[in-house]
Chains A and B, each alone.
Chain A
Amino acid sequence: DTAVSQTPKYLVTQMGNDKSIKCEQNLGHDTMYWYKQDSKKFLKIMFSYNNKELIINETVPNRFSPKSPDKAHLNLHINSLELGDSAVYFCASSPRQGSVEQYFGPGTRLTVT
């Protein structure tokens, strides 16, 4: 009965590869997010979707492409992975756009070698 789940939990890959991270929430929330937490533990928002529509797109390289097939899913595809992409990626959801109470997934630790 996990609220926000992500797969995989760990991802190790080589530079130049393309990879995807999947996120699902079973809370019935309208809004979903992707965050990146770097090695210095700063957590920054990357994207926000509301009812499958892109709402927030921070300054993120266009190698990162989110996709929301439905309200409960928000996937993140990354092309041509670089060393600097190594981080923990968190998915989150909230009942509606602008809600301060967000529910975070367990994170996906991406290591690019």
Chain B
Amino acid sequence: LAKTTQPISMDSYEGQEVNITCSHNNIATNDYITWYQQFPSQGPRFIIQGYKTKVTNEVASLFIPADRKSSTLSLPRVSLSDTAVYYCLVGALRGSGAGSYQLTFGKGTKLSVIP
């Protein structure tokens, strides 16, 4: 499983755009990049997934350069309710059987949105 590295914490003011970058230098050809959000005392919530270039949904955008060794989650105009831990995950279905696929969570980036 590709290891990911992301900042431990970030601060942002309300209304700003926030970009969280994740490094995954040993990403494999079949790996997808996935981002999850976790609020205190809640389970993680899927935000977005991508393989290459740019993906956008109603919550965020995900930018992936051509070499795929990093990715950037972009949150437009954050509000106080976006304060959470954001996890970058890299992995792929590698076949059937035990251990064939799993989400491996790192420490994530703790985003604090300031009024």
- Stretch of B19-27, B40-48, B59-67, B75-83 at the chain-chain interface: B40-48
CB distance from B89 to the nearest CB of A (A): 8
A101 touches B46 (CB 8 A): yes
Chain B: interface secondary structure?
loop
Given contacts A41-B107, A45-B103, A100-B91, contact A56 B98 (CB under 8 A): yes
- In the assembled complex, how far is the CB of residue B104 from the closest CB belonging to chain A, in whole angstroms? 8
How many residue-residue contacts, CB under 8 A, span A and B? Answer: 65
In the bound assembly, the distance between CA atoms of A58 and B42 in angstroms comes to: 23
Residues of the B chain whose Cβ atoms lie less than 8 Å from the Cβ of A90 = 43-44
- How distant is B32 from chain A, measured CB to nearest CB, in Å? 6
Q: Nearest Cβ in chain A — how far from B112, in angstroms?
A: 15
Chain A residues within 8 Å of B, Cβ to Cβ = 4, 40-45, 48, 54-58, 90, 92, 97-98, 100-107
Give the A-binding residues of B (Cβ under 8 A). 32, 34, 41-46, 49, 85, 87, 89, 91, 93, 96-108
Q: A45-B102, A55-B97 are in contact. List 10 more A-B contacts (CB 8 A).
A: A43-B44, A56-B98, A97-B93, A97-B101, A101-B49, A102-B44, A102-B46, A102-B103, A105-B43, A106-B41
